Structure 1
Amino acid sequence: MHLAEILNWRSVPAAGISMGLTRRCPLHCAHCSTQSSMTSEQHPELLFKRFVASFSHESRPAILAMSGGEALLRPALVSALAKSARRCGTTSSVLSGLFFARTHDGTKIPAPIRVAIDAVDHFSASLDAFHEAEVPWPNVRRVLRTLLDDGKDLSIHLVGRDADDPYLTTRIAAVRRHFGTHIPMLVNQVASFGRARAWTPMVMTKRPARVEAQPCTMAAWPVMGFDGRIVACGNDDAMDRMPGHLVLGHASTHTWAQIRERTLESSMMRAIRLYGPDYLAARAEMHPSGCAAGCRTCMAMSGDALVEERVRASIAISMQKQSTRVLEAAAGELIRQGGALAFARRNGVARYAELALLGAT
């Protein structure tokens, strides 16, 4: 499964689910969005297995995307979930910081981890200057070469300090030199989340005189956290703050079919995907800090009961109209037509978006 196939689905509501299997990680990256460590929380395997077991041929996500923390600290769980998902037609991926290549040259992958990598349909490696301080690039390169030679579908999630970080230019050139077009890359920049919040300033955008609708694709896939809580957003703050309007349920009490229905049918979720939070806030005459803040606006909607009530009231009637359903379908089709490239431009460093298509047929 190529990276482009995953990104093609990424903007489609309930087409996939992201699942954080653990918040533990042996690395100490200064930009870690989840502030993971080896003493962070980790919940029983049964929580994750039960939820994936609720997938069926009639109701299933197309993609199960696993991460952490460091998901490959639980290789047996990764393998079990990938196999369980595949039985009903769901493909799977796992994202790793390659911690296992820290202390050797990368030519030998530990057997349990190799079994887990073989079990998924796509393997992604996190790569940035912070990871490389602990897992050297030559070791990463050898791991990728081993997997590539064995026919594994791979990608690199590459992160720079900002869009102009020379590290990105240097590492992209090295990847292309060693692997040609065989490993696609999704390129992003450090955001003010987790540990990076202490040293990365929050980008403040002046609110325009007229706030236009801006569909939010981050509310497309449900996200299951390390403790089983499920939210409707891929923003790391959503899991930390758990704003009420984004909460979908819990893996211990809800099935995939129930989470899917809430994702697709909730008037609030539909409105956020169609109009975006800034537009909804403007309609409800609410806007925090006077800024067009996107995600921050969305997080603030549940910070005040009166504000959330006003937002819900402003969409209650409009989201029930047949004309709104028609508009949703048209907007969704336009987003789907943009595919992987549009997603990479919108949610990554735009100038490098086409790297996500390397090797795609």
Structure 2
Amino acid sequence: MRGIRRHMLVLAGVFLLAAGYLASRFVFGELASAQPKTMVFIPKTIDQRIEFWQVMKQGVFAAAKEYNVDVQVLGTETESDVDGQIRLLETTIKAKPKAIIFAANDYQRLAPVAQKAVQTGIKLITVDSGVKDVASTSFIATDNYAAGLKAGKAIGGRMENGDAVAIISFVKGSATAMEREQGVRDSFKDRSGVQLLDTYYCDASEEKAYEITKRLLQSEPRIRGIIGLNEPSAVGAAKAVRDLSSRVKLVGFDSSMDEIALIEDGVIQATIVQKPFNMGYLAVETAMKAWRGETASPTIDTGSEVITVDNMYEKENQKLLFPFVEK
């Protein structure tokens, strides 16, 4: 575990100068006047503790540098602030940027304002999570249903008849959350001896996931498996399992530094790793193609991999686990 952490620090050092240059080219927090080649990136949250969005931002920056595009990053403090994201998108539309790269916090509630962006002629690239009935220029994401199937099979293979499995999700109404949960539940259709319990929502808060998991483990002795459907839910659940010295098996999503350490320590048995850097890079590239009148693929699946302690040291998986994250 210590060797892995040292490796991460070395990687961070290698890219430090490049990061400083990139950071000087972008505007954060407040929407500046849109210029001819300006894009706005709106992730689900700007909380820097959630590494998934930091890695996606680096992908956006890398492509923006290559294509000579100015990018403004805007976002709410939490993924559960749907009202705040609606207001933010409304404000962004009024500034008339050439493109908006957008990860919706709610599949239905963000639809009307997202449709407004499309109707005004802005190139809308949706990433990670889509919105209902909105014809964005392109949707770039993990196949979250398939990823949910992978997570369900990873935990299901570790369960015996009579065991129960709990799902810790993040924000109710998020397309990503719904698709992953459906994949998990469908993976258990042929496992009648294992019970899937209700889904519990932590609002993408590690602290809430921790408290939910503690209560579940103390009140439901049949639980032998937990699936955390994103980074905060997985880390919070894993820390509760560790602190209670529980023998519960756990499968998560993503690959934060905490998750990697918890895999090495045997607390998390597997994690479904996405490719957020690729999502960010391809979003900018796709927007540029649309500007030039080129055909953009309506859907791009960036893929996911199941990472365990047995395969995490393989070369290709190391690239997934240790992307550069600017703090």
Shorter-chain TM-score range: under 0.3
The TM-score with structure 2 as length reference comes to 0.27
More helix by percentage: 1
More strand by percentage: 2
